[in-house]
């Protein structure tokens, strides 16, 4: 089998057909049609048009379901025109879903329910009925506040949960089991059988390769027998994506591949440890940099960098004014800085000013 990374030029005598295009994402090559960012854009658009979206992620253990949910959640909230909070909820939060939802802040949420197949095995009928009742009104938060909800549900088999819980707008398949073939054909349609078989073949390639040296191959054409080679988990893994209308292959990565630190996705829950860390920060910072006023100014700047304005309305309006002026390219930001005697400052964090992190016993 010949493995290539670029397309073989078409014979001009043959009929021209659409051909895959190879692109780069952070210097890693991939087939453009496999873009997970394009999928995130579809989810973002759907969320703008309807207030509740349910997404199923189906596949065996260790096939990347959880990381796919985390990656899509991060990409969607980055693309969205409205703010979203991202929450990863476990077994206890799901079994006590009514209480979980009552404690949510009145903002838009992306919720990830991981491996919920346990409901069929361990949850009582009363618990399942309560969960289904809460899900039916999930976007109506306590206090009459209506918000947008994007719900990810991962489980191992297509019929592992009740028909109500299986309702969805989009489906991702991370693996293909022989016992699941009939169910997958019913779910995705017989016309997509070749894509189901292709995912199964790719998953076998991922599993039988040497550690950190396994690859999976995507065919670039039916006649040329040429393939695009993906290095498995460096950073991509393959999935089937079905939006109710069409089915296609996509590849996804760890969220940290494109966003190592995300203040929305990594936002910790408030706890005793959080309180201790806050107290440690305030005491250590004021000792090294002066009053809390300095810290407030710094946090304002960092919040602005994260897309959250904490300045007064006049300052925020002024920023938008300057941005619109610069868009017309009438002046550059450096030229404006010179007019107002603003110069870049070069500095380093001295060893004596490094943060003192609390050492856990």
Indicate if the pLDDT at residue 228 is higher than 90.
yes
H or E, element range at 289: helix 272-289
Instruction: Name which residue leads in pLDDT, 6 or 102.
Output: 102
Average pLDDT score over residue span 245-260:
95
d(C-alpha 115, C-alpha 232), whole Å: 23
Lookup result for tokens 């960098």: 305
d(C-alpha 20, C-alpha 35), whole Å: 12
Contact 292, 286 (CB under 8 A): yes
Strands 52-58 and 170-173: parallel
Contact 220, 226 (CB under 8 A): yes
pLDDT mean across residues, the chain: 84
Instruction: Name which residue leads in pLDDT, 212 or 143.
Output: 212
- What pLDDT is attached to residue 129? 79
- Locate 137 and state its tokens: 């009104």
Instruction: Name which residue leads in pLDDT, 246 or 280.
Output: 246
d(C-alpha 193, C-alpha 182), whole Å: 10
CATH numbers and ranges of domains, the chain: 23-257 (3.40.50.300), 272-352 (no CATH)
Q: CB-hemisphere CA count at 13 Å for 226? A: 12
pLDDT in tens, 166-178: 899 999 999 999 9
d(C-alpha 354, C-alpha 284), whole Å: 10
Instruction: Name which residue leads in pLDDT, 330 or 164.
Output: 164
Q: How confident is the model at residue 361 (pLDDT cuts 50, 70, 90)?
A: very low
Contact 174, 59 (CB under 8 A): yes
Q: Angle at CA 297, nearest 5°, toward 336 and 279?
A: 160
pLDDT in tens, 24-71: 999 999 999 999 999 999 999 999 999 899 999 999 999 999 999 999
- What pLDDT is attached to residue 3? 61
Angle formed by the axes of helices 272-289 and 292-305, nearest 10°: 110
- What pLDDT is attached to residue 132? 80
């Amino acid at each position: 089998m010949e493995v290539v990374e670029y397309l073989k030029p078409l014979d001009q005598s043959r009929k021209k057909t659409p051909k895959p295009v190879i692109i780069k994402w952070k210097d890693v090559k991939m087939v453009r049609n496999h873009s997970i960012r394009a999928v995130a854009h579809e989810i973002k658009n759907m969320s703008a048009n309807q207030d509740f979206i349910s997404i199923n992620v189906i596949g065996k253990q260790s096939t990347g379901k959880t990381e796919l949910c985390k990656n899509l959640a991060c990409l969607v909230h980055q693309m969205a025109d409205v703010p979203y909070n991202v929450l990863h909820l476990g077994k206890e939060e799901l079994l006590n879903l009514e209480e979980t939802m009552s404690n949510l802040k009145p903002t838009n949420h992306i919720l990830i329910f991981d491996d919920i197949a346990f409901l069929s095995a361990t949850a009582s009928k009363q618990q399942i009925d309560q969960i289904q009742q809460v899900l039916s009104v999930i976007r109506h938060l306590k206090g009459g506040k209506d918000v947008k909800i994007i719900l990810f549900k991962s489980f191992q088999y297509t019929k592992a949960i009740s028909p109500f819980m299986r309702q969805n707008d989009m489906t991702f398949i991370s693996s293909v089991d022989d016992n699941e073939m009939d169910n997958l054909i019913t779910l995705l349609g017989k016309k997509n059988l070749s894509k189901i078989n292709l995912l199964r073949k790719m998953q076998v390639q991922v599993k039988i390769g040497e550690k950190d040296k396994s690859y999976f191959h995507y065919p670039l054409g039916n006649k040329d027998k040429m393939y695009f080679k993906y290095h498995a988990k460096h950073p991509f893994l393959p999935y089937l994506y079905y939006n109710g209308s069409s089915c296609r292959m996509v590849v996804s990565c760890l969220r940290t591949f494109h966003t190592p630190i995300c203040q929305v996705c990594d936002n910790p829950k408030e706890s005793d440890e959080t309180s201790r860390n806050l107290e440690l920060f305030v005491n250590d910072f004021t000792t090294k940099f002066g009053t809390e006023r300095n810290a407030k100014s710094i946090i304002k700047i960092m919040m602005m960098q994260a897309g959250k304005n904490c300045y007064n309305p006049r300052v925020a309006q002024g920023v938008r004014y300057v941005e619109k002026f610069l868009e017309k390219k009438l002046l550059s930001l450096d030229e404006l800085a010179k007019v107002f005697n603003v110069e870049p400052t070069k500095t380093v964090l001295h060893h004596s000013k490094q943060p003192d992190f609390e050492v856990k016993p």
